[in-house]
Amino acid sequence: MRALVKTEAGPGLELREVAQPVIGINDVLVRVHKTGICGTDLHIASWDTWAAKTITPPLIVGHEFVGEIVAVGSNVADFHPGDLVSGEGHVVCGRCRHCLAGRRHLCANTIGLGVGRDGAFAEFVSIPMTNVWHHWPGVDEEVAAIFDPFGNAVHTALAFPVLGEDVLVSGAGPIGLMATAVVRHAGARFVVVSEPNAYRRDLALRMGATAVVDPLARDLRDVQSELRMVEGFDVALEMSGNAAALRSAIANMAHGGGIAILGIPTAEISLDVNEIVFKMLTLRGIYGREMYETWYKMTVMLQSGLDIRPAITHRFSFRDHDAAFAAARSGDSGKVIMSWVE
Ligand code: NAD
Ligand code: ZN
């Protein structure tokens, strides 16, 4: 089969002919239809410090996908060839305290698809049956391809109650964009999106933002007064990984507010803890998705009218992976999809 492989420790990815994965008794084999490019894939491709200390080549990259089951292991009873599925990208241990308690998203021994084991940028991928999400008939395959990052967005967006609340979204990358639509769907009053990139600010408006702001040009306080907000944001979703964005969120929160932090900073961030204490804020780290409560919520929200399709801006064949990665890296893009069927 053809696969996009990190062949050696250094920059670049190579489209290669490799052996089809062999499945174990608890696994399913999926013929990949479509995949989404994630920031993680960009880090691995460019071979930054994180990638150099995390990745052992050779490795097939990628973890956002949709495809059709073509074979199942002998222990697998619930899934069948022909099923349209996506995969949860975190393979958990199943044996730690949290896994045993059913809190698999808290597993401390998670292995990432396309990070710690061969991934989905390939014609076929093998995943454990415990990682399969079966889609309903008629699901949009492009949307199904990005259930993994959509799950990040939903898990973060619903970390605090948003019904009737004023929400700040910092960072309108693909995940911030989807989260904007989710908090809107979940009944937020104002959704203010802070993002330096103009292309992405426009997309945020299409996703349902009440107002967008360039944090390099304007203070969030001005936006608050324009909207006649009085006490600050009730909920903030930190989706940029940027230190200034986190500080600005803290500075603009209402007393008792909640900040869900998904963005991954590249260095330590110093914070004025006094603000957190005296505003009685709750800061909550978010990693991955809840297995499988988030997946359930994604599905039912799509079925009840949530539309995340405007966040998908670019489509390529896997053959044009260089152009696809360039589009994802440019910043002037939302989600970039690669198709693995011709
Ligand atoms: P992205 O890099 O495409 O988006 C981040 C956005 O933040 C960019 O559009 C950037 O212009 C914007 N930004 C930069 N400085 C800003 C500032 N001062 N204020 C507001 N916005 C600013 O990333 P993405 O794919 O949408 O992912 C969002 C974040 O979540 C990233 O940091 C990513 O690493 C992280 N992530 C975390 C998890 C997890 O499980 N915790 C999973 C996936 C991604
Ligand atoms: Zn575990």
Q: What is the pLDDT of residues 63-87, one digit of tens each?
A: 999 999 999 999 999 999 999 999 9
Residue type, 264: I
Q: Rounded to whole angstroms, how far apart are CA atoms 96 and 185?
A: 35
Q: Are 214 and 195 in contact (CB under 8 A)?
A: yes
Of 107, 264, 289, 312, the residue with max ligand 1 atoms within 8 A of its CB, to mutate for a pocket test, comes to: 264
Q: Are 186 and 157 in contact (CB under 8 A)?
A: yes
Is 43 one of the annotated active-site residues of the chain?
yes
Q: Write down the mean pLDDT value for the chain.
A: 98
Residue of the nearest CA to atom 34 in ligand 1? 264
Q: Rounded to whole angstroms, how far apart are CA atoms 193 and 168?
A: 6
User: Where does the pLDDT of residue 50 fall: very low under 50, low under 70, confident under 90, or very high at 90 and above?
Assistant: very high
Q: What is the pLDDT of residue 329?
A: 98
pTM: 0.98
Ligand nearest to the CA of 101: 2
Quick: pLDDT tens for 4-37. Answer: 999 999 999 999 999 999 999 999 999 999 999 9
Any ligand 1 atom below 6 A from CB of 248? no
Any ligand 1 atom below 6 A from CB of 73? no
Question: Which one from 7, 33, 35, 40 is the annotated catalytic residue?
Answer: 40
Any ligand 1 atom below 6 A from CB of 240? yes
Residue type, 237: L
